[in-house]
Amino acid sequence: MKAFVFPGQGAQFVGMGKDLYENFPIAKQLFEKANDILGFRITDIMFDGTDDELKQTRVTQPAVFLHSVIKYLCAESETAPDMAAGHSLGELSALTAAGALSFEDGLRLVATRATAMQAACNQNAGTMAAIIALPDEVIESTCKEVSTEDCLVIPANYNCPGQLVISGHIEAVNKACASLKEAGAKRALVLPVSGAFHSPLMLPAQDELEKAIATTTFHQPSCPVYQNYDGKAHTEAEEIKANLIQQLTHSVLWTQEVTNMLEAGADTFLECGPGKALQGMIAKIAKSADKTVEIGTFGE
């Protein structure tokens, strides 16, 4: 069974999507439609901009979404997914590829999400850090010990065994990093991000996204879509909408998600979008689960 997976913020690179634009008429049409919807020429930044321009959240998230979804649409006749999933932002790419959202509605939701998350970052200063080579339980307990009501840190991204990202107030994240280094973490690296994604600091963004989702039409996807909030497969529109809203302030359960896809019979994982970060994570998860799988890039 084939599982298609879609990356999130951080996978972007200057030049992304330019080959699609130049070689596929449908890609050029969709990119130009995206420029109209967004109200600025995101293609100029994606194809020929600077790293600093591209890494702005309001640009990054639509750019990664566009590259992922348009790449899928250009090559979808090659094969159909039996299941799909996306990491953080990539969940909206997965839902669009699976037909739960139209291209236009998916892009509008991504744009709303990006703008709202940037505003939340400006309102609630925070950061994130990657913790390498410690058991999840140690990181979870340390976050609880360090957190107070007004200064918190939580596990944010369960990426794969031995790699967990924490998120929260700057002071709490720094304290947790110091404690986790003492506990034996190989690395506790504060990430160059603009805020505390997937934590309660994103509550203002969650409110904005919920309003946008309430006015958006969702369809039954063509295959089960595994969601970050609970790691489980979903096909019902109301469940999908509720999980999307909760995702902004809760942990991304990627390890659990991939494990559940493996248990459901996934034996081939194809990453669709910029970069290959998810492929490395999936390889580690499959190894931990003692599963042999094929891992590659869709459309190549």
> Would you place residue 194 in the very low, low, confident or very high pLDDT band (cuts 50, 70, 90)?
confident
**Domain CATH code at residue 100:** 3.40.366.10
Provide the pLDDT for residue 225. 98
Integer Cα distance of 58 and 112 in angstroms:
9
Count of all residues that appear for the chain in the document: 300
The answer to whether residue 28 scores a pLDDT higher than 80 is: yes
How far apart CA 240 and CA 76 sit, in angstroms, is 23
Q: Are residues 30 and 144 in the same domain?
A: no
Q: Which positions are annotated as active-site residues?
A: 88, 198
Query: Could you say which of 158, 190, 222 is where a domain stops?
Result: 190
pLDDT at 80 > cutoff 90:
no
Maximum C-alpha span of the chain: 55
Tokens of 201: 């600091």
133 and 255 share one domain? no
Measured CA to CA, the distance from residue 74 to residue 79 in angstroms comes to 12
Distance in angstroms (rounded) separating the CA atoms of residues 177 and 263: 33
Pick the last residue of a domain from 138, 167, 190.
190
Structural domain boundaries enclosing 37: 2-122+200-297
Q: State whether 33 and 131 are in the same domain.
A: no
Answer yes or no: is pLDDT of 77 > 70: no
- If we measure between CA atoms, which residue out of 241, 224, 242 comes closest to residue 233? 224
163 has pLDDT over 90:
yes
Lowest-confidence segment of 21-30, 77-86, 206-215 by average pLDDT: 77-86
Token pair of 95 as six digits: 């839902």
CATH number for the domain spanning 154: value is: 3.30.70.250
Neighbours of 215 (CB within 10 A): 8
What is the structure's pLDDT at 208?
Answer: 94
Task: From 157, 190, 223, give the residue that closes a domain.
Answer: 190
Edge-to-edge strand list for the sheet holding 127-132:
153-160, 163-168, 127-132, 187-190
pLDDT band at 299 (very low <50, low <70, confident <90, very high): confident
Beta bridge partners of 234: 225
